[in-house]
Structure 1
């Protein structure tokens, strides 16, 4: 039996969906709530603006339609939406306040968010500025991260389910398709996909029952794609065609549509939308780190007096451990130039005594390490967008000389001097080296010419000595 309505809830003022005209047959009362106007409708029923009494703030009430409440599976999904939403208490998730039933008609009382959903917001304003889109999606990611920690998978993240308040706060709503890891309600038939094809992860098409948090991360990346480009991903095609393109990573990159989008945001979106779930961020927090390039872990914050220094440990070409210190920019430059050897062997820390992590685990450098699929589009990505993997750092365009033979270290990095004390064997805090270009590998065509000339010279010498 649904719980009895509690004392009048303190609901935040707001609007659930796009405005809809008033309905003459509008029911005036649902339990203790007075319905004022219909503000939207969907597959499950209609949403109304309502009040508990004249003194209480307005709330949103979702009422199941007659055609859906006779379906036992849909009825249980409606109940599940309340149960899941009531477990979540996060500023970026729409709150569920109450659940009841009047004469066999179930209703769900929710926080009312005054504003528009993200789809309407983009339609009205056009594609959003990159930083604004990242801000909104990052807020949703925080709420979704809380849901995932509670074992909830949303399975229908899309612009229409993200409400933007008049204060500019983003809130995720509509948990009607939520999956609870700890329960088995069997509300999804095996082999059936649930969600919205344009924003669904490809594996969710086959079996929504197996959807996990990385499906939500895919949808979040696709939502950001739509916000920064103003275009629906995989739009204008059938669900089957969309699935085929998704599994092949076949879509225009964000930067191919909007060249002003930063390389980092383009990379972060493509990583989140990778067809292989293992290539996506493991958590929503990691996705936000990918977007911002900054760690969210307080335990890995920089010292107050040295906020831009990084301490690195890596193996040179002879297997000898090398320790250097440098700024974030210097480390990134050295990685791009392939001057730190195999990037999979490089570890970094914010302090001399701090915990050292592999670069893949650090958002400040992850975009240079993790390779994501390059979507198959006619438009080639600019050369400067190349993403460096551990293999490309080793085999790419870098000096073949041993690091021990390089007279100066990678630009901006400071090595341990030979006369250092035992205390300083790991790090050099004293030397400040001038800028150096280091050794650069010769272009391949120059190497071929030199090799050819050497062969010709050897042949001539052989003929002269005969």
Structure 2
């Protein structure tokens, strides 16, 4: 779900309907659900002042309606002001955090997804991971909570627009602006990767720019929670995320690493520089096949202002094979900064300020080695509150998200088919389960003195194991994976056809050779029968036959 960037908040709209009408729509409007359109309800949100009523009765009715409106228009400490947009995960609202007196963007998980326990657990886990990120180029997360049965996350509100909006307006960016934005995004990604968080949805829509020219990368973690619903079964090139997605992520989004983010950032840089996408297709299948071939038009051919070194850097970022890309963002930043092409500010932002300290301005002297990771004290982290456990299942779900750094001894079958024991953190075990690197028979324990037990016996891993079992019973996945499966079947059919064609041609070759030899023998015998009496003595004389 993309993070919309609103226009400056306008005054509350005037009422257009009576109190009675407003009262009927409050629950639908201010506790967002499937029927919420975000337009009609905004008018009902204004304070009602009907001219048709007066006196004590009207005042009493107005007070009751106001109380109901105030209660329904709030989620926890956040007062909903305006609907900004919606996506596959739910709705986004402009809200006021009353305790700290500041505006925020409030992402509310849809009711349908809110009913899926595993998804809600992951929603909270990824939001908590986002809250640990503290960087000037990363959108801040203020809280993740549950109220009135709705799950939501409060994030920093940006007074600007996305890079996709700027590309739509400008066509493409200048080289200095393109490199500067990419450096700032790479700084944000490096910080996230050091926290063991892969974005997996880098694209211009998720790169926001404030009115002061500061760049913010949005939707860390939440994009990761939504990847199961990404599909490329539709036609057309307006498919969003898949246009920037690495080929290996399209095959299996669960097992990608930080190089998938570098690929997506490279596609975004290509788009900034040229106004075009490196890989295109009229259908999803054409797009997938283009990425699998890894062939694209050089950015320099589309924009001759691009230096050769920058062109080669883009080529390396979007290499088909992850091993041919940059290994991490530190290596990428070293090359970007060594070009000396980045501007001090964004030229398309009037009155833009230089990059914030700790972002692009400090990376121009980035050492070759990756910076030492430091752990911030808990008091410096944004406040995050989890819903109170209302049942044993809720308590187990919260315990499952509580200790990502706990160590486990995991007994599993390795790639050689042998039983092995590996020491992993909780987050690593979860990743291995999701990525199907651990089989369903794997066992674990926390202390060496303990006995190994099935992973499903631990609250930390039970939801993922159940999900794996359900997937294995249902027969697998859909969307992008289906496309790759179709391509693989098509490739196998082509291989079989080529093999049969080769055998047919070989057999026909032998047949024609046999026919040719038979003709030669027949002609020779015929000639001998006709001229044998004449040729015989001459051949005997020629070869001294007796």
Shift of 1:244: 1.7
Matched residue, 1:122: 167
Matched residue, 1:82: 127
Asked whether the 8 Å contact 2:280–2:290 carries over to 1, the reply is no
Matched residue, 2:449: none
Shift of 1:67: 2.7
Matched residue, 1:112: 157
Q: Aligned pair in 2 of structure 1 residues 265, 299: CA closer, same or farther (>3 Å)?
A: closer
1:17 equivalent to 2:5? Answer yes
Which structure would you say has the larger RCO, counting Cα contacts within 8 Å and 6 or more residues apart? 2
Secondary structure of 1:35's partner?
strand
Asked whether the 8 Å contact 2:108–2:152 carries over to 1, the reply is yes
Asked whether the 8 Å contact 2:127–2:222 carries over to 1, the reply is no
Secondary structure of 1:226's partner?
helix
2:141 is matched with which residue: 96, 106, 114? 96
Q: Aligned pair in 2 of structure 1 residues 298, 153: CA closer, same or farther (>3 Å)?
A: closer
Q: Aligned pair in 2 of structure 1 residues 232, 70: CA closer, same or farther (>3 Å)?
A: farther
1:72 equivalent to 2:117? Answer yes
Count of residues in correspondence between the two structures: 280
Matched residue, 2:83: 38
Structure 2, gaps ≥5 residues long? 10-36, 43-71, 234-238, 340-363, 370-546
Structure 2 CA distance, aligned partners of 1:279 and 1:299?
19
**Residue correspondence of structure 1 range 60-209 to structure 2 within 5 A:** 60-177=105-222, 196-209=241-254
Structure 1, gaps ≥5 residues long? 1-14, 180-184, 301-466
Q: Aligned pair in 2 of structure 1 residues 44, 138: CA closer, same or farther (>3 Å)?
A: same
Asked whether the 8 Å contact 1:202–1:275 carries over to 2, the reply is yes
Shift of 1:236: 4.2
Structure 1 CA distance, aligned partners of 2:279 and 2:227?
27
Structure 2 CA distance, aligned partners of 1:113 and 1:186?
22
Matched residue, 1:271: 316
Structure 2 CA distance, aligned partners of 1:200 and 1:99?
28
Asked whether the 8 Å contact 1:85–1:96 carries over to 2, the reply is yes
Matched residue, 1:284: 329
User: Residue by residue, what CA displacement relative to the aligned partner does 1:312-343 show, whole Å, maximum 9, x if unpaired?
Assistant: xxxxxxxxxxxxxxxxxxxxxxxxxxxxxxxx
1:252 is matched with which residue: 290, 297, 316? 297
Shift of 1:298: 4.3
Structure 2 CA distance, aligned partners of 1:151 and 1:200?
19
Shift of 1:55: 6.9
**Residue correspondence of structure 1 range 49-60 to structure 2 within 5 A:** 49-53=94-98, 56-60=101-105
Structure 2 CA distance, aligned partners of 1:298 and 1:285?
8
Asked whether the 8 Å contact 1:48–1:62 carries over to 2, the reply is yes
User: Residue by residue, what CA displacement relative to the aligned partner does 1:442-464 show, whole Å, maximum 9, x if unpaired?
Assistant: xxxxxxxxxxxxxxxxxxxxxxx
Matched residue, 2:263: 218
RMSD of Structure 2 on Structure 1 (CA): 3.0
Q: Aligned pair in 2 of structure 1 residues 227, 192: CA closer, same or farther (>3 Å)?
A: closer
Q: Aligned pair in 2 of structure 1 residues 18, 248: CA closer, same or farther (>3 Å)?
A: farther
Secondary structure of 1:58's partner?
strand
Q: Aligned pair in 2 of structure 1 residues 55, 173: CA closer, same or farther (>3 Å)?
A: closer
Q: Aligned pair in 2 of structure 1 residues 178, 67: CA closer, same or farther (>3 Å)?
A: closer
Shift of 1:99: 1.1
Asked whether the 8 Å contact 1:84–1:178 carries over to 2, the reply is no
**Structure with greater helix share of residues:** 2
Q: Aligned pair in 2 of structure 1 residues 271, 176: CA closer, same or farther (>3 Å)?
A: same
* Higher radius of gyration, 1 or 2: 2
Structure 2 CA distance, aligned partners of 1:55 and 1:205?
41
Q: Aligned pair in 2 of structure 1 residues 40, 188: CA closer, same or farther (>3 Å)?
A: closer
Shift of 1:192: 11
- Is 201-210 or 74-83 further displaced after alignment? 74-83
Shift of 1:120: 0.8
Shift of 1:271: 0.5
Structure 2 CA distance, aligned partners of 1:298 and 1:250?
33
Structure 1 CA distance, aligned partners of 2:195 and 2:287?
31
- Is 205-214 or 230-239 further displaced after alignment? 230-239
**Residue correspondence of structure 1 range 314-329 to structure 2 within 5 A:** none
Normalised by the size of structure 1, how large is the TM-score? 0.55
Normalised by the size of structure 2, how large is the TM-score? 0.47
Secondary structure of 2:83's partner?
strand
Structure 2 CA distance, aligned partners of 1:268 and 1:18?
34
